[in-house]
Amino acid sequence: MARKLILDVDPGIDDAVAICLALADPRLEVLAVTATGGNVSPQQATRNVQTVVEQLDPRRLPRTGAAPAEGLLTSDMRHLHGDDGLGDAEFRVAELHHLHPSDKVICDEVRAAPGDVTIVALGPLTNIASALQRDPDLATIVGHLIIMGGTVTAPGDVTAAAEFNIYSNPVAARIVFNSPVTKTLIPLDVTRKVTLTYDLLDQLPDEDSKTGALLRKILPFAFRAYRQNLGQEGIYVHDAVALAAAVHPELFETTAMCGDVETSGELTTGATIFDRRRVPGVRPNMEVAVDVDVSGVMDYILRGLTAAD
């Protein structure tokens, strides 16, 4: 039986890669792809979700959810993803109107299959926190929440202390961290170990396939942006790594920790703090990935993308 999945995303090139993998994987039943502001504005994130799903045109269309317009961003990642979040590829899309809010879609789908739905949160945790507040019992019926975000000992990527997704809405992240939902955090410490090199482009499906056409338009921008802005030849696909944790948890080493989020520090807003004392003062509230089988995850990503069509 396919695993029921909700993707909560802020597309983002690596979000698009993760969506491609999920929609093509027969082991997954993608119930919904919900948008949140992050890499781009909430409005653009909603448009990008519709764009990616429309470009891929999967046999079973997932529900889509609109990002909350009031979600103000403290920063974005357009320097790595383009002004439109998808490598400035200028896709045309038939924009849908009257979309349900993302948090409502999440609540509806979890309620329809209590205990069976895995949520993979690949952007700021705005929608997840809102869904938990909209439906206080939701935390007890989510099957599993996988969060891409935060750091344990690694430096941040938007400030010295903070990873982008958590920094973008630290209040929401704290709500989610302290909720009783069963959750696993996939931090930068792990996702940065997986780097895709330029020869990936030679392994993608042909341009006449839907997945190949999409990825060949957006991935070259990512390689150029990483070289120009970060001085590195390969790209990180943080969100695809987090999706791999849903499909192949055996590729990740995790440990139980108690994590929280700094919401008001002058230098540390958005930092994820873990009680790693020999005798912690509080009980663990999540599993945290501390290591990864890099070759196994890369194999999952490359095989998934090359076989997508």
pLDDT tens-digit profile of 224-276? 999 999 999 999 999 999 999 999 999 999 999 999 999 998 999 999 999 98
Out of 88-102, 109-123, 189-203, 269-283, the most confident range is 109-123
pLDDT at 201: 87
Catalytic residue among 81, 100, 238, 248: 238
pLDDT greater than 70 at residue 71: no
For residue 182, the 8-state DSSP code is -
Helices (H) and strands (E) in the chain, counts: 11, 12
Alpha helices in 57-136 (DSSP H): 78-81, 102-112, 126-134
For residue 184, name the pLDDT band (cuts at 50, 70, 90). very high
**pLDDT above 90 covers what percent of the chain?**
86
pLDDT at 76: 83
For residue 117, name the pLDDT band (cuts at 50, 70, 90). very high
**How distant, in Å, are the alpha carbons of 6, 103, 121, 284 from that of 287?**
19, 24, 15, 8
**How distant, in Å, are the alpha carbons of 42, 83, 101, 294 from that of 70?**
8, 20, 12, 38
Please give the single-letter amino acid code of residue 243. Answer: L
**pLDDT above 70 covers what percent of the chain?**
98
* Residue 235 phi, psi dihedral angles, 5° rounding: -120, 150
pLDDT at 279: 83
Query: Is residue 200 within 8 Å of residue 298, measured between CB atoms?
Result: no
Query: Is residue 215 within 8 Å of residue 204, measured between CB atoms?
Result: yes
pLDDT at 256: 97
pLDDT at 208: 87
Worst-scoring range by mean pLDDT, 72-81, 255-264, 289-298?
72-81
Q: Residue 2, Cα to own-chain centre: how many angstroms?
A: 20
> Taking all residues of the chain, what is their mean pLDDT, rounded to a whole number?
94
pLDDT at 72: 59
pLDDT tens-digit profile of 22-54? 999 999 999 999 999 999 999 999 999 999 999
Across the range 294-302, mean pLDDT stands at 97
Query: Is residue 174 within 8 Å of residue 128, measured between CB atoms?
Result: no
pLDDT tens-digit profile of 83-108? 999 999 999 888 777 889 999 999 99
pLDDT greater than 80 at residue 10: yes
Identify whether 98 is a catalytic site residue.
no
pLDDT at 280: 80
Tell which wins on pLDDT, 236 or 203. 236
